[in-house]
Amino acid sequence: MPIPDALAEYIGRWAGSNRLQDPHTNTADDSAATALLTPVLNGRFLRFDYTWAYKGAAQEGSLLIGGDKAGAVTAYWIDSWHMGDLAMTCRGSVELDGIVSVRGSYAAPPGPDWGWRIDLTSDGCKLRMVMFNIWPDGREDLAVEADYTRVEV
């Protein structure tokens, strides 16, 4: 089944900025960012590869996203800074306003697991990825804001 129309409009090259809300310093860390979104398996999935930097050190991440006509979305997320050597499986949906929103969780021993939410929006010319850290009590803190514009090739 092909990826939903809400994801298909993301295909292409993008460039912009990334703002990490640094949990170590409680300050924003800004960097240049790029994204390349490509269809995979005859358009059944979308791969979202992105780059950014933390204190000048290059970072990268990737989301492999799939969806169905009913609006259910799954994603597999990896990121050199956030996830290290692990991957997060996320589930979500395409919202009525076109936002693709997925959630996953990660272990935070010795306490309970924490959640993570990734939202993607696009108007065809601009792309936005926003990530939230979700406390065990449900409170959400902004973690990442990445804004891109389409790059002509």
CATH number for the domain harbouring residue 121: 2.40.128.20
pLDDT at 124: 75
- SS3 for the chain is CCCCHHHHCCCEEEEEEEEEEECCCCEEEEEEEEEEEEEECCCCEEEEEEEEEECCEEEEEEEEEEECCCCEEEEEEEECCCCCCCCEEEEEEECCCCCEEEEEEECCCCCCCEEEEEEEEECCCEEEEEEEEECCCCCEEEEEEEEEEECCC
Average confidence (pLDDT) over 71-97: 88
Classify strands 72-79 and 126-134 as parallel, antiparallel or unpaired: unpaired
Q: What is the mean pLDDT of the chain?
A: 90
What range does the domain containing 102 cover? 5-150
Closest by alpha carbon to 75, among 131, 113, 19?
A: 131
| Residue 3 confidence class, pLDDT cut points 50, 70, 90 | low
Q: What is the mean pLDDT of residues 100-110?
A: 94
**What average pLDDT does range 148-152 have in this prediction?**
91
Counting residues of the chain whose pLDDT is more than 90, the rounded percentage is 69
Position 136: which residue type? Answer: P
Report pTM.
0.92
The answer to whether residue 2 scores a pLDDT higher than 60 is no
Give the tens place of pLDDT for each residue, 20-76.
998 888 889 999 999 999 999 988 899 999 999 999 999 999 999 998 877 789 999
Domain count, the chain: 1
- Please state, for a pLDDT cut of 70, what percent of the chain lies above it: 95
What are the structure tokens assigned to 151, written together? 């790059």
pLDDT at 153 (0 to 100): 62
Residue 77 pLDDT exceeds 70 = yes
- The pLDDT score that the predictor gives to residue 152 is 75
